[in-house]
Amino acid sequence: MSMTTMSSKPPDIENWNLSQSAIELLRRYPEIAADLAIERQKLPFPAGYRPDLIEILYEDLVYVRSEQGRITFLRDCPRNYIPPFMEIRFDDQLAMFVIQGEMVVDHTEQMAALDELLGRLEP
Amino acid sequence: MVASVDNQTQTKVSERLIEQLRQQSHENFDVEDLRVQVGRSVVLGRMASGEYREHISAEQADEIATAIQQPVTEGADVEAYARKLPNIEIKSGETIVFRQERDGVISANVFQAEQQSQSEALSSNPVTAPSEPSAPELEGDALMESAVRAESLVASVREISNPLDHEVSEPVATRLGEYMLQVESDSATVLKEDAVVLAAKDGAIISNLSEPDTQALQGWLQRGDGIFEPWAVPIQQPASQVSEPPPAIAIAQEQIAALPEGRGKQFFQRLSADLKQQANEVFSAIRQGLESEQLGVLRQKVGTVMQEAPEKATVALGRGLETAGQWITSSPDAIKNAMDSLQSAAEQTGGGIEKSGQWLAARPEAIREHRAMQTAMKLFEAGFRRTHEKSFEVGGFKVEFEGGQQLRLSDAQSDETLMRFQQTASPFPGHLPRLEVIEKGDISREQYQSLNAVGQRGEPVRGSQDAETLHARKSEQIAQLSKGLAEAMGSTDYRGKHYRIELGEDTLRISANDGRGELYHREGNQVVSNQFEQKDFGRFAQVIQKLEQQQATHTPNTQVELD
């Protein structure tokens, strides 16, 4: 269920350890801020998880879809496009949300820890 | 630094879009009544609070202008998307006039006139969730089946949470979809919306799962497991020269590069490298398809797209790669169709195929390999401690030491190599050593599972016949010695520094104080269990030596500590 319910109290974004510009961006997009407030409370994905569907979104639009190891959708855009925020979703769940290099949500910590142990993170 | 748009530019973007929408629809939209939503956010239009939003970016406006050209996707299951966030949704009042789903499907579009009736049916009535069927009453076989399923679910929950089966010292709590998974050393729990739906503790399982929940949970848990069949791209020419990824992926790589150093960043770097390679394969294949005889097949498969946008297709044929990329983005199905046709054509002509961009896909196999190596290592070490030999057979498998830090795991019967691997120190100080596959044979899923089971059983790993005979003899010596010592002390429960000896009427039990617990248990003449290791023989040998020295020097019968 991905519809956001707006609570009457705005989320406490000042205490998210973000830069001023990131906070300002979230103020401009209150629905996203509210959603992220919920996402930040969620537990990470289990270590052994392997998603079927990967999506990359810029400004809430899907630009890349990969299903079961195959690209199935690619949106064209200018090479110099700098999205103010990027989101990566696994099987329609938020996996990470980043604002210009600042990670706001990351649910992949257990997966990454396992990949590190398996030596899979080395280039 | 977030790009900021000045108010004037913003207004221009919004105005331009509204004008475009007006032109497309042949109707007069009441601008006040219009709401444009991209993903989660309303980017243009009047909010319930009264605020008028004008957040829409030039990129978003561009996308919308392009998207509304597409007709409603044939055969789209509108109901399936009812509770999901759209990619783009445009409403006029309460009516949805345009909607593109996240997977590219167009579920409503009044701007393509003939689809008008369909869009009217999509007026936004609040969608109520279908009421969950209560768990049905089960009887007999159905109960049994349900119990087996619950057990299998619990096993999957444990496996996805702790794939390497390491010691769980702290609870592992994770989430998949609506389900929260909690695993501890002796229990596993699944919660949905704070209610326990599945719980297992010390072998007892309680399931409160409805049938839909069971299937949904199974679906999630299987995603730790399934095998992807990646697209195979026909190789007819040397590998494509394309090193520049499509802009969308290049941008992702830039965004990820800006993250602070750490394994989160590394994880996403590998993931985006995967996507880059996958995109490369698509473009490479399209280009090869465009340039090859398979063009005919390609044309057939993507016929509709080419009919609708012949101009684009012609340009694509002429200019090849880049334009083909743009052509692809205008129709999501085009990729699938193109790749499928190329793959089947390649298979028919017996052309070579290559696969890449599968780092993520390889996760489950990498986990299975590691567990197998871990288990093989553990079994070898157990055997080695027992008899100091180099090769052991257990549970149908054979593990042999080949020198250096290298081990070979094989099928005990056929001697077929299953895996050759080595242990190396981890580059990270304080971390467990690394296990690396050197060579891998054909290991089936059953073999992986069988090996895991052997590892978990914890039965003693026996050595060769000669070694075991010697082991038995030395064990007998220790038994005699221990019994004698305890009797000399007048004790039926002697506790030394390293060992504890318990004497019963006709029983003897020797345990270690170093955490290994019971090592030897004899009832009458029957040895019930024997887990002595070489180091135990070493220690008792020292004791025997001391005793012999005492006897030789006629020293009084002082207490000989079983050190």
Report CB contact under 8 Å: B264, A112. Answer: yes
pLDDT at residue B313, as a whole number: 44
Report CB contact under 8 Å: B226, A52. Answer: yes
Choosing among B35, B100, B102, B165, which should be mutated to test the A contact, i.e. which has the most A CBs within 10 A? B102
Report CB contact under 8 Å: A79, B247. Answer: yes
Tell which wins on pLDDT, B281 or B527: B527
**A contacts of B229 (beta carbons < 8 Å):** 68-69
Q: pLDDT band at residue B320, thresholds of 50, 70 and 90?
A: very low
Three-state SS for B274-303 is HHHHHHHHHHHHHHHHHHCCCHHHHHHHCH
Rounded Cα gap, residues B473 and B494, in angstroms: 23
Give the one of A24, A50, A81 whose C-beta lies nearest to B360's C-beta.
A50
Q: At what angle do helices A20-28 and A30-41 cross, to 10 degrees?
A: 110
Choosing among B167, B270, B360, B437, which should be mutated to test the A contact, i.e. which has the most A CBs within 10 A? B360
Rounded Cα gap, residues B249 and A65, in angstroms: 11
Rounded Cα gap, residues B534 and B471, in angstroms: 9
Is B409 in contact with B418 (CB distance < 8 Å)?
Answer: yes
- Tell me the per-residue pLDDT of B18-29, one tens digit each, with 9 for 90 and over: 888 887 776 666
Reduced to 3 states, what is the DSSP secondary structure of residue A22? helix
**B contacts of A32 (beta carbons < 8 Å):** 40-41
Is B320 in contact with B287 (CB distance < 8 Å)?
Answer: yes
Report CB contact under 8 Å: A72, B363. Answer: no
**A contacts of B246 (beta carbons < 8 Å):** 74, 76
Distance from CA of B140 to the nearest CA of A (A): 34
Copy the structure tokens of residue B555: 């020293």
**B contacts of A8 (beta carbons < 8 Å):** none
Bridge partners of residue B201, in order along the sequence: B187, B204
Copy the structure tokens of residue A91: 């099987």
The listed range with the strongest mean pLDDT (B282-296, B336-350, B536-550) is: B536-550
Give the one of A43, A56, A114 whose C-beta lies nearest to B173's C-beta.
A43
Would you call B203 exposed, middle or buried from its count of C-beta atoms within 10 A (0-12, 13-18, 19+)? exposed
Distance from CA of A65 to the nearest CA of B (A): 8
Residue pairs between chains A and B whose CB atoms are closer than 8 Å = 257
Residue of A nearest to B231 (CA): A70
Report CB contact under 8 Å: A81, B247. Answer: yes
- Which of A108, A114, A113 is closest to A42 using CA atoms? A108
Tell which wins on pLDDT, B237 or B492: B492
Rg of chain A taking only CA atoms, in angstroms: 15
A83-102 burial code (b ≥16 CB/10 A, e <16)? bbbbbbbbbebbbbbbbbbb
Report CB contact under 8 Å: A2, B84. Answer: yes
Report CB contact under 8 Å: B224, A49. Answer: yes
B210: DSSP letter: -
Rounded Cα gap, residues B329 and A62, in angstroms: 11
Rounded Cα gap, residues B34 and B46, in angstroms: 7
Question: Does residue B239 register a pLDDT over 60?
Answer: no
Q: Mean pLDDT lowest for which of A88-97, B3-12, B166-175, B506-515?
A: B3-12
Q: pLDDT band at residue B322, thresholds of 50, 70 and 90?
A: very low
Mean pLDDT of chain B: 79
Rounded Cα gap, residues B179 and B181, in angstroms: 6
Q: pLDDT band at residue B555, thresholds of 50, 70 and 90?
A: low
Report CB contact under 8 Å: B161, A60. Answer: no
Number of residues assigned to chain A: 123
Question: Does residue B10 register a pLDDT over 90?
Answer: no
Rg of chain B taking only CA atoms, in angstroms: 34
Residue B194 Ramachandran class (φ > 0 left, ψ -120 to 50 alpha, else beta): left
Residues 256-295 (B) with a CB less than 8 A from some CB of A: 256, 258-260, 263-264, 266-268, 270-271, 274-275, 278-279, 281-282
Copy the structure tokens of residue B24: 């497309």
Report CB contact under 8 Å: B2, A99. Answer: yes
Is B205 in contact with B167 (CB distance < 8 Å)?
Answer: no
**A contacts of B305 (beta carbons < 8 Å):** none
B25: DSSP letter: H
Q: pLDDT band at residue B340, thresholds of 50, 70 and 90?
A: low
Q: Mean pLDDT lowest for which of B84-93, B388-397, B538-547?
A: B538-547
Give the one of A31, A93, A121 whose C-beta lies nearest to B41's C-beta.
A31
Copy the structure tokens of residue B261: 């150093």
Choosing among B60, B263, B435, which should be mutated to test the A contact, i.e. which has the most A CBs within 10 A? B263
Residues 413-452 (B) with a CB less than 8 A from some CB of A: 431-432, 434, 436
B85: DSSP letter: P
Distance from CA of A62 to the nearest CA of B (A): 6
CB atoms within 10 A of CB B106: 23
Report CB contact under 8 Å: B57, A59. Answer: yes
Is B552 in contact with B545 (CB distance < 8 Å)?
Answer: no
B83 HSE (CA, 13 A, CB side): 8
Give the one of A2, A4, A48 whose C-beta lies nearest to B163's C-beta.
A48
- Tell me the per-residue pLDDT of B63-73, one tens digit each, with 9 for 90 and over: 888 888 888 88
Copy the structure tokens of residue B238: 């040397």
Arithmetic mean of pLDDT, B447-456:
92
Bridge partners of residue B89, in order along the sequence: B37, B99
Reduced to 3 states, what is the DSSP secondary structure of residue B220? helix
Is A2 in contact with B84 (CB distance < 8 Å)?
Answer: yes
Choosing among A8, A32, A60, A94, which should be mutated to test the B contact, i.e. which has the most B CBs within 10 A? A60
Q: pLDDT band at residue B367, thresholds of 50, 70 and 90?
A: very high
B258 HSE (CA, 13 A, CB side): 18
- Tell me the per-residue pLDDT of B134-158, one tens digit each, with 9 for 90 and over: 445 556 677 778 888 899 999 999 9
Distance from CA of B491 to the nearest CA of A (A): 50
H-helix segments, B26-139: 58-67, 116-120
Distance from CA of A105 to the nearest CA of B (A): 11
pLDDT at residue B146, as a whole number: 80
Give kind and range of the element (H or E) at residue B546: helix B534-553
Is B234 in contact with B345 (CB distance < 8 Å)?
Answer: yes
Chain A contact present for B194, CB below 8 A: no
CA torsion sign, A108 to B373 to B356 to B244?
Answer: positive
pLDDT at residue B342, as a whole number: 61
Is B122 in contact with B132 (CB distance < 8 Å)?
Answer: no
- Under 8 Å CB-to-CB from B400, ≥6 apart: which residues? B390, B391, B392, B407, B408, B410
pLDDT at residue B433, as a whole number: 79
Residue of B nearest to A31 (CA): B41
- Tell me the per-residue pLDDT of A16-57, one tens digit each, with 9 for 90 and over: 999 999 999 999 888 899 999 999 999 999 999 999 999 999
Rounded Cα gap, residues B420 and B425, in angstroms: 17
Is B17 in contact with B76 (CB distance < 8 Å)?
Answer: no
Copy the structure tokens of residue B395: 């549970």
Chain A contact present for B248, CB below 8 A: yes
Copy the structure tokens of residue B57: 């970016």
Distance from CA of B248 to the nearest CA of A (A): 6
- Which of A25, A91, A114 is closest to B103 using CA atoms? A91
pLDDT at residue B23, as a whole number: 78
Give the one of A22, A43, A46 whose C-beta lies nearest to B160's C-beta.
A46
Give kind and range of the element (H or E) at residue B54: strand B52-54
Report CB contact under 8 Å: B55, A56. Answer: no
- Which of B289, B338, B17 is closest to A73 using CA atoms? B338
Rounded Cα gap, residues A101 and A18, in angstroms: 11
Rounded Cα gap, residues A25 and A59, in angstroms: 11
**A contacts of B247 (beta carbons < 8 Å):** 76-79, 81
Q: Mean pLDDT lowest for which of B58-67, B264-273, B397-406?
A: B58-67
Rounded Cα gap, residues B518 and B30, in angstroms: 84
- Strands (E) located in B346-486: 352-354, 391-394, 397-403, 406-411, 417-424, 434-440
- Under 8 Å CB-to-CB from A22, ≥6 apart: which residues? A99, A100, A102, A104, B2
pLDDT at residue B1, as a whole number: 37
Report CB contact under 8 Å: B325, A2. Answer: no
pLDDT at residue B98, as a whole number: 92
Question: Does residue B290 register a pLDDT over 60?
Answer: no
Chain A contact present for B321, CB below 8 A: no
